[in-house]
Amino acid sequence: MVRILLRFSENIVEQPITAEIILALKVPINIIAAHVNSKGGEVLAEVPDAALEKVVTAYREKGATVSLPKLIEVDSEKCFSCGACVALCPVEAITLADDNSIVFNKEKCIGSTCGACVEACPARAIKSVKQGNSELANDLNPKK
């Protein structure tokens, strides 16, 4: 599965775009997190690797912006294991190990749609980073 970040502008936010795409392409799309109001929306979704290109093209055709979500990285050099980030994480992506060091579960983290831990870290050890320069990232650049 690949995570993609979808942005819907004010004009299209009321349309059932995701439902239409699921029905048309018959691929499962899993919504991980969503912030939507009348002014627009941001949705983090998970799609099967094989269907990625199809799904991205479909969203673009319907006017949505598609990009790779920024994920969180913890700099283990800087982190001094205080734990300030732990209780703030809404999805329990950060937990404490028995030796009181923190364990970050990348799979669970909903990334830039949340970001709650970033500003809470007194050591500034948590950064919101763009996902690597993989082919995937290039593929997702809007083709003009």
Q: At its nearest, how many Å lie between other proteins and the CB of residue 91?
A: 12
Amino acid identity of residue 43, one-letter, is V
Q: Which is nearer to ligand SF4, 21 or 68 (CB)?
A: 68
Alpha-carbon gap, residue 33 to 43, rounded angstroms = 6
Q: At its nearest, how many Å lie between other proteins and the CB of residue 84?
A: 5
Question: Under rule CB under 6 A, how many of the chain's residues touch ligand SF4?
Answer: 26
Q: How many CA atoms, within 13 angstroms, populate the side-chain half-sphere of residue 122?
A: 6
Question: Under rule CB under 8 A, how many of the chain's residues touch other proteins?
Answer: 19
H or E segment at 22? helix 17-25
Q: Decide if residue 124 touches other proteins (CB under 8 A).
A: yes
Alpha-carbon gap, residue 52 to 75, rounded angstroms = 30
Amino acid identity of residue 139, one-letter, is D
Q: At its nearest, how many Å lie between ligand SF4 and the CB of residue 87?
A: 10
Q: Which residues form the interface with ligand SF4 (CB under 6 A)?
A: 72, 74, 79-85, 88-89, 91, 93-94, 102, 109-111, 114-117, 121, 123, 125-126
